Structure 1
Amino acid sequence: MADKQALEQFFRDEFPQANFSIEAVGDRHAQIRKQIGFEHLRPGGTVSGPLLMEVADAALYVAILGEIGLVAMAVTPNLNINFLSKPAADRDILANCSLLKVGKTQIVGEVTIYSEGKTEPVVHAVATYAIPLSEGR
C-alpha cells in the first residue's frame, strides 16, 4: 500500500507531466482534482473529452497504487467512458474512484467525475488495469 505522501513523490519522480492533485486515497478509493484552464477547453467552451479520459485513468491509477503499492508498469488495457453532461469550464474537476475487483494481475475500478460544487456527474468510466507478474503481489 502507498499513502498520499508516497504517491505524490512517486508522481513527481516518475510522471512529472501529471498535473493533478491527490485529494484522498485509501480503502480501495481515491479522489483527485484537476484544475481546468483555457488549454483544457475545446470549441464550445467545454472540457475536452481526452482530458476527462486522462483524469479518469489517473484516478484509477492512484486508487490502485494506494492499494497495492508503487507499481510503475501497471497499464490500462480497457477503459469505457460515458460522457453524461457538459462539465463547467470555470471549475476544477474532481474524480472519485472505487476499486471493484483487486486481483493479482487484474484490477477493475469505476470513476465518477464531477465539476467542483456540482452534484450531477459529468463522466462515468469503468476501467481495467493489468498488473505485471514481475511486480505483482
Structure 2
Amino acid sequence: MPSQADLTPVMGIEDINAFIASVYPQLNDMSESYVTIAIVPGGCTVRLNADERHLRPGGTVSGPSLFTLADIGGYVCVLSHAGPDALSVTTNLTINFMRKAEAGPIDAHCRILKLGRSLMVFDCDIVAGPDRQTVAHATGTYSIPPKRT
C-alpha cells in the first residue's frame, strides 16, 4: 500500500493496540485475534490470526470475522490519523467476498481515501493464504466526533 505523505499518523502500533485493548477489551477476549501490525502515512495493516473460533462449516473463515477485520482496520486508520477518540464510529461499511480464506494470518491493508474533520473514508484489501491473494475488499466511512475543549 503506498503511503500518503500528506497524512501523518499521530499514534504508533503499540499505542493503538494498547488503546483498543483498553476501550474494546471484548474484541480479543484474552487472545490476540485482531492486531495492528503496521501504520503508515495514510493507512495501516491489521491482522486476524484466524483459528477454529473464526471458522464456519467447511473450514472457511466466516464472513463476520472478515467484516470485523475490515471494520477494525477503519477504526485503526481513524485512531492513528485523527487521534485516540474511542467514540469514532462506523457509519458505513461494504464488503465484497472474492475467495475462500482458511485459518491462519489474514491481513487487511487499509488506506485512507479522504480524511476530513468529521468523516474518514477508507478501503481495505484483505489478503490471505500462502500466495496472499485478495479474499475480500471493503470500503467504509467513519464518523469522527468533534474535538472537545
Question: What TM-score do you get using the length of structure 2 for normalisation?
Answer: 0.85
Partner of 1:60: 74
Deviations 1:3-28 (A, max 9, x none): 11211210121111233121101301
Deviations 1:38-96 (A, max 9, x none): 1111112101001100000001111111111101101111101000111123x211111
Q: Alpha-carbon deviation of 1:119?
A: 3.0
The runs of 5 or more residues in structure 2 that have no matched partner are 1-9, 29-33
Partner of 1:87: 101
Deviations 1:92-112 (A, max 9, x none): 111110000000001000001
Aligned residues: 134
The runs of 5 or more residues in structure 1 that have no matched partner are none
Percent of aligned pairs with the same amino acid: 37
SS for the counterpart of 1:70 is: coil
SS for the counterpart of 2:130 is: coil
The correspondence of residues 53-132 of structure 1 with structure 2, limited to 5 A, is 53-89=67-103, 91-132=104-145
Pairwise CA RMSD of aligned residues?
A: 1.3
